[in-house]
Amino acid sequence: MTAAPLPHATILGYPRIGRRRELKRAVESFWAGRITEAQLIETASELRAATRARLVELGLPAAGGAVPESFSFYDQVLDATLALSAIPERFAGATGSDLGTYFTLARGDEQHQPLEMTKWFDTNYHYSVPEIDERTPFAANPAQLLTQLAEAAEAGIESRPVLVGPVTYLLLAKAADGAADGFDPVDRLDEVTAVYAEILSALAAAGATWVQLDEPALVSDSLRTSREDTLALVERAYAVLGAASTAGEAPARPQILITAPYGDSSRALARLGALPVEAVQADLVRGTLPAAALADGSLARAFAGTQLVAGVVDGRNIWRTDLRAAFATLTTLAEAGVETVVGTSNSLQHVPHDVADEQKLDARLKSWLAFADQKVAQVAVLARGLAEGAASIEEDLAEVDRVLADRAAAPGVRIDDIRSQVAAAGDADRNRASEEDRREAQRGLGIPQLATTTIGSFPQTGEIRKARSAFVKGEIDEQAYEGFLEAEIERVIRLQEEIGLDVLVHGEAERNDMVQYFAELLDGFAVTEHGWVQSYGSRATRPSILWGDVSRPAPMTVRWSAFAQSLTERPVKGMLTGPVTILAWSFVRDDQPLGDTASQVALALRGEIADLVDAGITIVQVDEPALRELLPLDRERQAAYLDWSVGSFRLATGGAAPEVQIHTHLCYSEFGEIIDAVDGLDADVTSIEAARSRMDVVEPLGNHGYSRGIGPGVYDIHSPRVPGVDEQTELIRIAAARIPGEQLWVNPDCGLKTRGYDETVASLTNLVLAAKAVRAGA
Ligand code: GLN
Ligand code: ZN
């Protein structure tokens, strides 16, 4: 095959879990031993074949590398670890097939802790963190890439292998435990680049004409290098990779497409265009074009001989693209003399498969939506416009104009009353009484030092899930379901009393999910049937669609919290999900600033808190585990984000009287970057993850002058292991040495919904004993 430019249409990647989550089922069946490895491989291969055929059917050319090979059995970063054979030494004993090793790295086994998982850029997708040290072996293992390439060729499709690029790979890696002080995985860039070169040469030998190397590190200020340094690393690596020839009888590499999704690469773009690669992608939804370089012709000069894949179709949300605006951007580029290809802002792995699968969604709402398949079709339309001229797609543009106008004018999208309430909310509504007054007023709650509590959920048992699904299917009526939930709540309350916890929870048995539960009860949201999006490995979530102005037609949690409180003398915490987290884990409207949407959600929650307090609840927890996740990758945008996100939490909680105690929970422990924001939430008590880091997070908070309550987790809920009394006692003592005892709460790291009852009871019993031991010793 000979080197030819990319066709006018491409996407960066496509969902890989299958329209009906077939991959999830196959992978989990394999783990459970119900199917063989060969059967799993067969299912995966069928899914890939279906994906390629679908992409061609939707309008991506079969020839020329337009169809990406973005399949993954589990995670794309883990795929790169395998392709580099970068198996950490601690897995040396884990032998087996490639796929066996792969899953052991991902999930661990009896002898091995799995690779750590963490969030992929500012998305809710999690990747397996590579562990690299000075000795990590690197060797090219392109087997999986070659298999896919051959499969595609067999079907007559010239596809484009996809791999996380070398710079991003190493910047997402962490130094393995045994690495020398000061070692950074990126120190090994040159060696890793050499292995990438071998992989590329193997791909070229097998007939690949294009390869896609993803370098989202280029848009992030949250990595270990500055963006300028990241760009320099990219230049260093691609000078080497690009040096090999793409021409002649035996090309030494495929043509290279570098992508920079998830943010703004405008400042780097001209330098990327000047690299010895054949195409560069820019995210033009989150990012912009460098206006000056575009105007003075320097962008076009930098891109001479290099194609620009313009990511104008949004791969992060589910709205139909404003095709006219997108086409204008493409036209600007083409008129400036830049060789332009239509693309997506990022891989479509973050959106569901197909709107057409939704039978129950309101037809009008449905007409405004575009999932992965619709987005591919939009890319194809824009590409036709680029090739054949604007007139050739005028009908499509006009149709989208109509759809967007319909959306803007539809009932529920803008509700004057809600908008005036948001407009009327001022600083006073975001500020509670002084910390001192609140402390004083809350003495009446009678909460002891080192008060023990949990984060909210108790185990979601098979029984609970069964009852919920019976209710959803109409097999049991509302009365029976509510009776079941009340019995469950009563059981959880009695259990906590027996264990001796100080501040109780109702256990969240009524919630299918901490966001969807609220989305179903708030106006302005819709839920899908098949809108699954991979969150990690075989796990997927079904984000709700926030399409209109948000309001709360009726109380959402009061019934359950009030019932729980009626059963006990001890305080029961009301339990809400915060505005930022509700937004982060939903698909949000794109027709107004996120901050405006957050304020609407905040006002709804504010009403809920007032109703909870009226019903006799004295402590309310508002969870914000996604506060860190939505932090923009681009430092220049962070202050504005923190302003509205913290502001929305304060608007939600600002109506609480001084004697009402507001708690918040942030799952993670890495909030160095947002410590001011955590403080700015002004919650009376903040619980955080801390057990795995042995309370490392307490000290920075103390040094920061954090003066309100803090509950560093003393028990890691991510594993079924039961932490003993001594172990938890020690953690409490470490925390107590770093922060005054009267600020300290004792709780697990996170909610208990994924745990079983046996380990939960044992661990919480030990937690209470540990708190007592420290109190007695203090
Ligand atoms: N209250 C929630 C629970 O306990 C919090 C979960 C979370 O932060 N992810 O399940
Ligand atoms: Zn949590």
The CATH code of the domain that includes 516 is 3.20.20.210
1 pLDDT higher than 70? no
Chosen domain end from 374, 394, 409: 409
Domain presence at residue 489: yes
Paired tokens of 98 = 């490639």
* 231 Cα: distance to centroid of ligand 1 (angstroms): 38
Both 205 and 346 in one domain: the answer is yes
Kindly give the number of the ligand 1 atom that is closest to the alpha carbon of 575.
1
Separation between Cα atoms, residue 647 and residue 417, nearest integer Å = 21
Place of tokens 């697990």: 748
Q: Return mean pLDDT, the chain.
A: 96
Instruction: Check if 623 has its Cβ closer than 6 Å to any atom of ligand 1.
Output: yes
**For the chain, first and last CA: distance in Å?**
76
CB of residue 104 inside a 6 A radius of ligand 1: no
- The verdict on residue 751 lying in a domain is yes
d(CA 601, CA 653): 12
pLDDT above 60 (res 738): yes
* The predicted structure's pLDDT at residue 693: 84
Domain co-membership, 375 together with 445: no
- Please report, for residues 47, 70, 361, the alpha-carbon distance to residue 355 in angstroms, rounded to integers and kept in the order given: 19, 21, 9
Residue 702 marked in a binding site: no
**Encoded tokens for 292:** 């000056």
Report if residue 385 sits inside a domain: yes
625 Cβ inside 6 Å of ligand 1: yes
Q: Is the CB of 290 under 6 A from ligand 1?
A: no
The answer on 239 and 176 residing in a single domain is yes
Ligand 1 neighbourhood includes 514 CB (under 6 angstroms): yes
**Whole-angstrom distance, CA of residue 456 vs CA of residue 621:** 9
DSSP 447: P
3-class secondary structure for 121-171?
CCCCCEEECCEECCCCCCCCCCHHHHHHHHHHHHCCCCEEEEEECHHHHHH
Same domain for 396 and 458: no
Q: Based on the domain organization, do 473 and 349 belong to the same domain? A: no
Q: Which of 409, 425, 452 is the last residue of a domain?
A: 409
- Strand (E) or helix (H) holding 378: helix 372-388
Nearest CA to ligand 1 atom 1: 456
| 753 pocket-lining for ligand 1 (C-beta < 6 Å) | yes
Give nearest CA residue, ligand 1 atom 6.
751
Q: Which two three-digit tokens encode residue 627?
A: 């506060």
Tell me the mean pLDDT in the region 585-611: 97
pLDDT tens for residues 81-134? 999 999 999 998 777 888 999 999 999 888 888 999 999 999 999 999 999 999
Distance of CA 465 to the CA centre of its chain: 25
Pocket test for ligand 1, best of 124, 126, 455 (most atoms within 8 A of CB): 455
DSSP letter (8 states) at residue 523: E
Q: Is residue 426 part of a domain?
A: no
Mean pLDDT over 184-208 rounds to 98
- The answer to whether 308 and 280 have CB atoms below 8 angstroms apart is yes
User: Does a structural domain hold residue 38?
Assistant: yes
Atom number in ligand 1 closest to CA 753? 10
Beta-bridge partners for 661: 619
- Ligand 2 centroid, distance to 80 Cα (angstroms): 29
Report yes or no on 273 lying in a domain: yes
Contact, 410 vs 364, CB < 8 A?
A: yes
Exposure of 230 by Cβ count < 10 A (0-12 exposed, 13-18 middle, 19+ buried)?
A: buried
Catalytic residue among 506, 530, 704, 718: 718
pLDDT at 670: 78
Considering its fold, how many domains does the chain have in total?
2
Give the mean model confidence (pLDDT) for residues 195-214. Answer: 97
Q: Check pocket membership of 750 for ligand 1, CB cut-off 6 A.
A: yes
Q: Which amino acid, one-letter code, is at 498?
A: E
Domain containing residue 577? 435-775
Radius of gyration of the chain (CA): 27
Last residue of a domain, one of 339, 374, 409: 409
User: Does 546 sit in the ligand 1 pocket, CB within 6 Å?
Assistant: no
Q: Tens digit of pLDDT for each residue in 135-154? A: 999 999 999 999 999 999 99
Is residue 601 within 8 Å of 582, Cβ to Cβ? yes
224: confidence class by pLDDT, cuts 50, 70, 90: very high
Q: Quick one: pLDDT at residue 544?
A: 97
Mutation probe of ligand 1 site: the residue of 580, 665, 688 with most atoms within 8 A of C-beta: 665
Q: How far is CA 187 from the centre of its chain?
A: 28
Residue 314 in contact with ligand 1 by CB distance below 6 A: no
Distances in Å between the Cα of 775 and the Cα atoms of 127, 370, 707, 736, 768 are 40, 57, 20, 10, 11
* Cα 259 from Cα 6, distance rounded (Å): 14
Residue 697 banded pLDDT, cuts 50, 70, 90: confident
Amino acid at 592: Q
Closest residue to atom 5 of ligand 1, CA basis: 751
With beta carbons less than 8 A apart as the criterion, state whether 503 and 447 touch.
Answer: yes
Q: CB within 8 A of 544, min separation 6: which ones?
A: 515, 516, 519, 520, 525, 526, 527, 528, 586, 587
Residue 58 neighbours by CB under 8 Å, 6+ apart? 373, 376, 377, 380
Which ligand has an atom closest to residue 455 CA?
A: 1
With a 6 Å cutoff on the Cβ, whether 666 touches ligand 1 is: no
**Exposed/middle/buried for residue 513 (C-beta within 10 Å: 0-12, 13-18, 19+):** middle
- The environment of the single-atom ion ligand 2, i.e. residues with CB closer than 5 A, is 625, 667, 750
Q: Is 665 annotated as a binding residue?
A: yes
Q: Which atom of ligand 1 is nearest to the CA of 456?
A: 4
pLDDT at position 207 is: 96
Distance of CA 766 to the CA centre of its chain: 33
431 annotated among ligand-binding-site residues:
no
Extract the tokens encoding 549: 């102005």
Same domain, 499 and 597: yes
Say how many Å lie between the CA of residue 626 and the centre of ligand 2. 9
Distance 618 CA to ligand 1 centre (A): 19
Cross-strand partners of 686: 664, 710
**112 is known as an active-site residue:** no
Query: Which pLDDT score is estimated for 276?
Result: 97
- Please tell me the predicted confidence (pLDDT) of residue 700: 87
- Does residue 120 have a known ligand-binding role? no
Taking CA atoms only, the protein residue closest to ligand 1 atom 4 is 751
* Ligand 1 geometric centre to CA of 12 (Å): 33
pLDDT category of residue 2 using cuts at 50, 70 and 90: low
448 lies in the same domain as 323: no
* Domain identity same for 342 and 483: no
Distance 553 CA to ligand 2 centre (A): 28
Q: Residue 663 Cα, ligand 2 centroid: separation in angstroms? A: 13
Amino acid of residue 332: T
Mutate to test the pocket of ligand 1, among 496, 750, 752 (most ligand atoms within 8 A of CB): 750
Question: Which pLDDT band, with edges at 50, 70 and 90, does 208 fall under?
Answer: very high
pLDDT for 54: 98
Q: Is residue 744 helix, strand or coil?
A: strand
pLDDT in the model for residue 703: 86
DSSP string, 252-264: SS-EEEEE--SS-
Helix-, strand-, coil-residue percentages of the chain, each rounded to 5: 45, 15, 40
C-alpha 751 – ligand 2 centre gap (Å): 6
> Residues 347, 379: contact at Cβ < 8 Å?
no
> Do residues 457 and 494 share a domain?
yes
Residues 393 and 415: their CA atoms lie apart, in Å, by 34
Closest CA to 232 of 199, 294, 186: 186
φ, ψ for residue 205, nearest 5 deg: -60, -30
Q: Which amino acid is at 687?
A: S
State the pLDDT confidence band at 668, using cuts at 50, 70 and 90: confident
Does residue 702 carry a pLDDT above 90? no
In a domain, 61, yes or no: yes
d(CA 264, CA 266): 6
Q: Are residues 493 and 391 in the same domain?
A: no
Are 578 and 682 found together in one domain? yes
Return the ligand number nearest the Cα of 454.
1
253 CB under 6 A from ligand 1? no
**H helices within 19-108, ranges in order?**
22-31, 37-57, 76-83, 98-107
Confidence of residue 671 (pLDDT cuts 50, 70, 90): confident
Which single residue is written with the structure tokens 């249409």?
9
Q: For 721-738, what is the mean pLDDT? A: 95
417 found inside a domain: no
What pLDDT score does 408 carry?
Answer: 96
| Residue 698: per-residue pLDDT | 87
- Spatial distance between the Cα atoms of 201 and 18, rounded to a whole number of angstroms: 31
Q: What pLDDT score was predicted for residue 424?
A: 97
pLDDT digits (tens, 9 = 90+) for 41-71: 999 999 999 999 999 999 999 999 999 999 9
Helices then strands, counting H and E runs in the chain, come out as: 28, 23
Contacts of 682 (CB under 8 A, 6+ apart): 431, 432, 435, 650, 653, 708
Least confident of 96-110, 173-187, 294-308, 465-479: 96-110
511 lines ligand 1 (CB under 6 A): no
Judged against a pLDDT cut of 60, whether residue 778 lies above it is answered with: no
- Cα(45)–Cα(67) distance, rounded to whole angstroms? 16
448 and 333 fall within a common domain: no
Q: What would the mean pLDDT of 507-524 be, rounded to a whole number?
A: 97
Report if pTM > 0.90: yes
User: Is residue 30 predicted with pLDDT exceeding 90?
Assistant: yes
Neighbour tally for 182: CB within 10 Å: 7
Q: How far apart are CA 263 and CA 426, in angstroms?
A: 32
User: What are phi and psi for residue 507, nearest 5 degrees?
Assistant: 100, -10
235 annotated as belonging to a binding site for a ligand:
no
Give the residue among 585, 658, 668, 587 at the shortest CA–CA distance from 625. 668
Ligand-binding annotation for 124, yes or no, is yes
- Which pLDDT tens digit goes with each residue over 271-321? 999 999 999 999 999 999 999 999 999 999 999 999 999 999 999 999 999
